[in-house]
Amino acid sequence: LKDRASTNWHYLFDTIRGTEKAIFSNATNAEGTYANTLTAFNSDGFTLGSDNATNQNSNAYVAWAWDAGSSTVSNTDGSITTSVRANPSAGFSIVKASVAASLTGGPTLGHGLNKKPEFILGKNLDSTIYWYAYHKDLSDSHYLIPHLTSAQQNSGAVWGTHSSLDSSIFRIGTGTPASMWIPSGTNDCIFYVWTSVEGFSAFGRFYGNSSTDGVFQYCGFTPRWILLKRDDGSVD
């Protein structure tokens, strides 16, 4: 959710973490409980409380919502057991895991999509660690920090390599997760995982031409929501 009439932050909620549990796509803040924000996930939408950040009188809001299926299950496909809510037909899943800084070998996590992920957003819920993004068309072992202007960064310690993902799992780093994900102890992490579905979603890379007759990107459908990020320069 985002208040379009003020500088209130982007509030992100999901069914695995529960109502009133927010994280912020524009900041590194850990998860917090914010009363009277999103108070219910319903079969046909969601319910908001009276908090001004999410329901200020007369302010205009925008919200993006993905259907991650009807149930949360325990997934043991990876080296860490995950809580997963997946909708393979829509190419989207939510993955939550408790990750220890002491783990070695680049722990793997099951995602439930039955297809290799193409885009992942991940966040440590207990610490002020960056958001990290994986995209299938970044250079191998590279990642993005979505809320910063930085170009793609080079470190296998975040996602490993493109070969680290398959139809069942993705990997956190190539060594110990402590280097990027977990500062110490054991922290909960959340991951939003997407893969393309023909006629529904698409993920790709293009090169600009600095022309008013801009680059055409074929999606195969009329997009309803588009996310863009330059990966070779420091811009928003």
Going from the first residue of the chain to its last (236 residues), give the mean pLDDT of each consecutive group of 10, the final group possibly shorter: 94 98 96 98 96 95 95 97 97 97 92 98 96 96 92 93 96 87 95 96 93 90 93 78
What pLDDT shows up at residue 223?
Answer: 94
Say whether pTM exceeds 0.85.
yes
What pLDDT shows up at residue 53?
Answer: 93
Strand 119-124 relative to strand 132-135: parallel, antiparallel, unpaired? antiparallel
What pLDDT shows up at residue 236?
Answer: 62
| Rounded alpha-carbon distances, angstroms, from residue 136 to 25, 41, 86, 177 | 20, 31, 20, 21
